[in-house]
Amino acid sequence: MSLPETDTGGKRFSRRRLFGGVGAGAVAVGAGVVVGRSTAPTLDTAAAAAESVVPFRGAHQSGIVTPAQDRMHFATFDVTTDSRDELVAMLKKWTTMAERLTVGAESVPGGVVGGGQYEPPGDTGEAYGLHSSNLTLTIGFGPSLFGTADNDRFGIVDRKPAALEELPRFPADDLDPARSGGDIAIQACADDPQVAVHAIRNLARIAFGTASIRWSQLGFGRTSSTSTTQATARNLFGFKDGTNNIKSEDQPSVDDYVWANGSDGSDWMAGGSYLVARRIRMKIEPWDRAVLGEQERVIGRSKATGAPLGSAAEFDTVDLSSNQIEKNAHIRLASSESLGGIKILRRGYNFTDGSDGFGHLDAGLFFVAFCRDAMTQFVPMQQALARKDLLNEYISHVGSALFACPPGVPDGDDNAYWGSTLFA
């Protein structure tokens, strides 16, 4: 693998290796400075450090079937240049930086203090000495990046996949344009929020003059498990969420429902996936006043165990012939059985962004799903839910976006970069 190199004698250093001799509970930052952090893992052993790196390169981008980390910082960008060369140059710089960040290196060699007293530091510094914390960085291209026949600013209008149409407006959508869309998205997931925020901040910083942040969202407490090795976490309604999700170990389902392939119509997307993001506000206060029976009736599962109503255990097969699961219960309407076999990979996070000025929490689910084709998977699923889901009384979709996430940057190919299959 082409690891990023520092400017220290051509040796390969990660941020962790640089500080590998520091004992548990403390991290050396620069000459003579030692700080402790309670929220991040400590630099105790090289083995622990190695375990916290998710490979950046591969056939597919990481951050999709990667076991969902605990935190997310998601940002979308508007491209502010009309120059294809400038856009490609930025994607190349982003790729190099992203690969460095995922191994825990500074965003540029010597970035924090190595530039000396008379330069703004090349790395903002807040992750200096922290683990990479399973950081994954996943890029996606929105429909607007591809332009139109009248304004084909990057010469890619003919390469826009049919699966990348703007999402339709669904019943009861209450979308805020300032929290929707974007030419490019970057999803940063990590087990330390500071690592995820640092990554987005530094990527945004080097995009100056080429792209600027349109909107961003912080997420905590994954609301989906994407691996059988993970326990099911709970969403802000207190229910286990992700029980019946596609799991990365289920290779046939991942191939059928997550990865696009060449025969789907866009060669450059083979090995990629489509990311749907929906900021879903949860009406916490009315929900908290609803009795337990109503809450379970809405979802169709037991709040305590996550078992389908009428069954004993969380992973029991959902029996939709049982009249214990209401006609319009969430899990009935969203099930592949009710939708002619459709499935999606869910990878969302909880959010709370303070309160709304009317005494209500601005909280909810930042819903993220990956699909092989959002038009034939997410869209019919959301259409069914938007029309009839009992959950609709308690939620409101306030942000929306769709992105085509290209395949991964292949191992050993120094010319490849984020999106190189699109701009080839």
Q: Return the number of the residue (263 or 321) whose C-beta is nearest ligand L6N33NVT.
A: 321
Minimum CB separation of residue 300 from ligand L6N33NVT in Å reads 7
CB 79 within 8 Å of CB 87: yes
Beta-strand runs (E) in 193-346: 211-222, 273-282, 345-346
Integer-rounded Cα radius of gyration of the chain: 22
CB 75 within 8 Å of CB 204: yes
The helix (run of H) or strand (run of E) holding residue 405 is strand 395-405
Q: Return the number of the residue (42 or 245) whose C-beta is nearest ligand L6N33NVT.
A: 245
Q: Return the number of the residue (144 or 383) whose C-beta is nearest ligand L6N33NVT.
A: 383
**SS3 of residue 365 by DSSP:** strand
Q: Return the number of the residue (62 or 243) whose C-beta is nearest ligand L6N33NVT.
A: 243
Minimum CB separation of residue 274 from ligand L6N33NVT in Å reads 13
Minimum CB separation of residue 250 from ligand L6N33NVT in Å reads 13
Minimum CB separation of residue 355 from ligand L6N33NVT in Å reads 18
Unique residue bearing structure tokens 């990979």: 345
Task: Summarize as ranges the residues that interact with ligand L6N33NVT (CB under 6 A).
Answer: 235, 237, 239-245, 278, 280, 282, 299, 301, 318, 330-331, 334-336, 344, 364-365, 367, 378, 381-382, 385, 395
Minimum CB separation of residue 240 from ligand L6N33NVT in Å reads 6
Helical pair 84-102 and 193-206, crossing angle rounded to 10 deg: 150
Minimum CB separation of residue 334 from ligand L6N33NVT in Å reads 4
Q: Return the number of the residue (15 or 278) whose C-beta is nearest ligand L6N33NVT.
A: 278
Tokens of 264: 């789907």
Q: Return the number of the residue (57 or 346) whose C-beta is nearest ligand L6N33NVT.
A: 346
DSSP letters along 90-153, please?
HHHHHHHHHHHHHTT--SSTTTTTTT-TTS--SS--TTTT---TT-EEEEEE-GGGG--SS--T
